Amino acid sequence: MKQGILWFLISKKIKEHILFQQNISHLCFKKMKYSVSIFLAVFLVVGCQKKEKADYIIKDAVIYTMNENNDVAECVAVKDGKIVAVGSNQAVLQIYTSDSIVSLNGKYMYPVFTDAHAHFFGLAYSLGDCNLYGAKSVQEIITRLKIFREKNSHRLWMTGRGWDQNLFEDKQFPDRMTLDSVFPDIPVCLKRVDGHAVWTNTKAMEAADVFKVKKVDGGEIVMKNGTPSGIFIDNATTLIEKHISALSKKEIIELLMKADSICIKNQIGYVHEAGLEWWQIQLLDSMIEKGLIHTKIYAMALPTKENVNYFLQHGWIDKPNFKVKAFKIYADGALGSRGALLKQPYADKNTYGLRLIPADSLRYLLTVLYQKGFQVCTHAIGDSANRWILQEYATILKVGNDRRWRIEHAQVVDFKDMECFGRYAIIPSVQPTHAVSDKNWAVERLGTDRIHYAYAYQSLWQQNKRLALGTDFPVEDVSPLKTFFAAVFRCDYDLKDTTTFHIKERLNRIQTLRGMTIDAAYAAFMEKETGSIEKGKNAEWTILDIDLMTISKEDLS
């Protein structure tokens, strides 16, 4: 295939606009009809009137505005970092002129992409860990760890992320003995792909002094022959992770800057960071202020004592490029590690999953955060967890409210519970790539009945006519194009397996693009400044040489 150019343009001022280019495969595209009738108020006094001066003008584009009517334009004018006109070439150029007029020659312009649920810090840390993503066996993991150890012999702990027992032939959790046989003298802690379980060796368990611990509220210590096997799930992971030798501040800053570069290269302008401690909030704030991070962050604070005390006393952080207006709460664990809380036992194990927060603590938090005006974003995956959170939200929220409380993942939601999303204007924040990644084993966990209301994105969309779409990176790939692909086509991105998963629950192209732009902005109270290409909003967009409204899955993959 010929090589084309992927353009990512984010502009504040003409002197500050940044043009990112990245090679991608050249993809065919079709001409679009322009619908420009309602964009630009032309005052019909152009005659001899002097044109207004814009900082720059982009013309000859196919502009998917994602405004209320999903109109398509071809020209946009920018002044002082704001869009001052959008419409047809003729309409805009009748009013504005500029010393900098750029023709896109038919390329496609979209509102800047937002990842509505991700872990920016998690991505940064994963860049410093041994990469275990996609490993098909324990032996492959051991091989990767040996290579990692050779390159990082100075480290006091061996850390890694990305293993998934569902990819192993036996699909069973590994144990500490395997790690002990290769790494007997250094603590090893390996985070599962979903971040909800860790696999450790004996040395790590001794360092954490966990052999006497029998029970952890909201967590599980997996046992084997009466002793801990080395697998710790959900709240039990803290027993190990709090003892890991910390990276230096300099190392963390370097990793965060690498994570930022990855987001920019993937055309992501905004990230909703799904859960930070106070020191992480302070560090991100400082780095963004200094210009070390260019991705704009909408952060959710974890309900730690330090965070709760600070934000209840001082209120939100609301800066142009960094905002903290929400709290992230965990109701349950993940489906892959059987921590998601189900109403009936798992189909492949006699367990219901885990409740990660006591009911009284949840109720207190929701009440206080509501009174103080904070948004609440609760992780809920299992059908029991989703029903529980929906019911708790319903006791506090009023019908038709504008608090924009969210449920993160909303992965398994009984159809009978879905109407609660619409009644109380609760936003489902979902990650389409999860549906594709999980499709080969989810039915084993849920059985043939429950699977029908799992990853039911179209049904969820119908409740409020909007979804916020994200990736959950580093759990999934950062790429927003893979998010689009998974939402629309519901099959593997590489097309090695073209089997679709619950195709009736796929989203259409407009629903998906809105979920990555304007609906994601709405979920962060930012729809008046970003999310669509409209007059008065920030001049922020992504420019591609592919038409997401027509491209086939073969050409997009």
pLDDT digits (tens, 9 = 90+) for 22-60: 333 332 233 333 333 333 434 344 445 689 999 999 999
Helical spans, DSSP H, in 397-541 = 419-423, 432-438, 442-450, 457-464, 480-489, 509-515, 518-522
342-388 pLDDT, tens digit each: 999 999 999 999 999 999 999 999 999 999 999 999 999 999 999 99
The reported pLDDT for the residue numbered 3 is: 33
Q: Counting beta carbons within 10 angstroms of the beta carbon of residue 209, is it exposed (0 to 12), middle (13 to 18) or buried (19 or more)?
A: exposed
The reported pLDDT for the residue numbered 293 is: 99
Q: Which residues touch 96 (CB under 8 Å, ≥6 apart)? A: 51, 52, 53, 54, 57, 77, 84, 85
Angle at 107 (CA atoms; ends 105, 112), nearest 5 degrees: 135
Give which of 358, 376, 380, 379 is closest to 366, Cα–Cα. Answer: 376
Phi, then psi, of 499 in degrees rounded to 5: -60, 125
- Residue 41's identity, in one-letter code, is A
Q: Counting beta carbons within 10 angstroms of the beta carbon of residue 373, is it exposed (0 to 12), middle (13 to 18) or buried (19 or more)?
A: exposed
| 13 CB neighbour count, 10 Å cutoff | 14
Asked whether 322 and 285 are in contact (CB, 8 A), the reply is yes
The reported pLDDT for the residue numbered 4 is: 35
Give which of 540, 9, 80 is closest to 321, Cα–Cα. Answer: 540
Asked whether 326 and 376 are in contact (CB, 8 A), the reply is yes
Q: Counting beta carbons within 10 angstroms of the beta carbon of residue 379, is it exposed (0 to 12), middle (13 to 18) or buried (19 or more)?
A: buried
Asked whether 26 and 1 are in contact (CB, 8 A), the reply is yes
In the chain, where are the structural domains located?
Answer: 3-112, 118-241, 257-531
Q: Counting beta carbons within 10 angstroms of the beta carbon of residue 84, is it exposed (0 to 12), middle (13 to 18) or buried (19 or more)?
A: buried
Report the top-level CATH class of 118-241: alpha beta
Q: Radius of gyration (Cα) for the chain, nearest Å?
A: 24
pLDDT < 70 regions, the chain:
1-49
Burial 524-551 (b: 16+ CB within 10 A, else e): bbbbeebbbbbbebbbbbbbbbbbbbeb
- Six token digits for residue 140: 């492959």
- Residue 396's identity, in one-letter code, is I
Topology given in CATH for the domain delimited by 257-531: TIM Barrel (3.20.20)
Q: What does the alpha-carbon distance between residue 2 and residue 457 come to, in Å, rounded to a whole number?
A: 35
Classify 496 as helix, strand or coil. Answer: coil
Give which of 527, 403, 468 is closest to 117, Cα–Cα. Answer: 468
Topology given in CATH for the domain delimited by 3-112: Urease, subunit C; domain 1 (2.30.40)
The reported pLDDT for the residue numbered 7 is: 41
Classify 87 as helix, strand or coil. Answer: strand
The reported pLDDT for the residue numbered 10 is: 37
The reported pLDDT for the residue numbered 40 is: 40
> Where does 188-262 show beta strands of DSSP type E?
188-192, 197-200, 219-224, 227-234
